[in-house]
Structure formats: C-alpha cells, structure tokens
C-alpha cells in the first residue's frame, strides 16, 4: 500500500473554481454594503453634530451656536470663536442635497434662521451610488430626526 500525502490537481482545481464562484457572487454585495455604510456614516455625522450643537446652545445660553451649510461643507460656529468644519468630501461616492444657509440653535432648544425668523424644516438628503437615501431633518421645535 502506498500512502500519498497531499491533494490531486483535480481536487485543487475544484476548490479554486468554487472559491472563484463564491467571490464573483460576494464582491458586488461588498461594494453595495460599503456604499450604504458611507451614506449612513455621513448622515449619522450630521445628526450627531446637530444634536451636540443643540446641547451646547442649551447649556451655554450666553453663547450663540449655529450651523452654516454650504454645498460641500457644514460648519458649527459659536459666538465665542469656536469653529468646527466638516467637509462632505470625507464621504466619497455620497451625494448630499442640503439647502445652503444658517441654522441657529436658541437657548430654549428651538431653531431659527440667522435673522431670528422661524424655520419650518431643514432637510439634508444623502444618497449613495445606487440611489438609496438617508435624510436628516431639523424642525423648528429643535427636534432632529434621522431616517
């Protein structure tokens, strides 16, 4: 009797073929999952920033806290000189639709425009390469909603 150790060429080719088929199925799903994670990360970062800014405004009523939106960034600005800038370029492949302007968080937690007039809702919509949306909404009451 002869004891052979190892695998035959046919066995190795079958394993390689199975791995190739599984990879061909899995790779597109990994890219889709990655795009969804970037979209959720971008909307989560804005949601978190808005909540923190609202809390700062409530805790420090003598300092005005606002968020300034442009086409490619949003910036948290306080009247005592603190600025926090977030660039949407940090999330490649994610499209962001947000109206430019400034949202001011008042000491009572409500939201208004820079000139003191009330706002109804400010909505930021994030979409990935497949067009799946996430959105962050800021209501006049100060409520911040993510979906």
Predicted model pTM: 0.77
Cα(18)–Cα(137) distance, integer angstroms = 46
Q: How far apart are the first and last CA of the chain?
A: 68
pLDDT tens for 33-61 read 788 888 999 999 999 999 999 999 999 99
CATH number for the domain whose boundaries are 9-146: 3.55.40.10
Distances (CA, A) of 117 to 64, 77, 108, 144: 15, 19, 15, 19
Which range is least confidently modeled, 40-54, 73-87, 128-142? 73-87
Domains of the chain by residue range: 9-146
- With contact defined as beta carbons under 8 Å apart, do 129 and 33 qualify? no
């Amino acid at each position: 009797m002869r004891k052979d150790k190892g695998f035959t060429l046919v066995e190795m080719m079958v394993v390689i073929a199975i791995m190739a088929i599984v990879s061909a199925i899995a790779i597109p799903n990994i890219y889709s999952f990655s795009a969804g994670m970037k979209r959720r990360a971008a909307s989560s970062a804005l949601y978190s920033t808005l909540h923190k800014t609202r809390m700062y405004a409530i805790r420090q009523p003598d300092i005005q806290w606002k968020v300034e939106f442009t086409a490619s960034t949003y910036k948290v600005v306080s009247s005592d000189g603190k600025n926090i800038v977030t660039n949407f370029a940090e999330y490649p492949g994610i499209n962001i639709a947000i109206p430019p302007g400034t949202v001011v968080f008042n000491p009572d937690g409500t939201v208004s425009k820079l000139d003191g007039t009330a706002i109804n809702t400010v909505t930021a919509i994030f979409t990935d390469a497949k067009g799946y949306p996430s959105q962050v909404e800021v209501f006049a009451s100060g409520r911040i909603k993510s979906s």
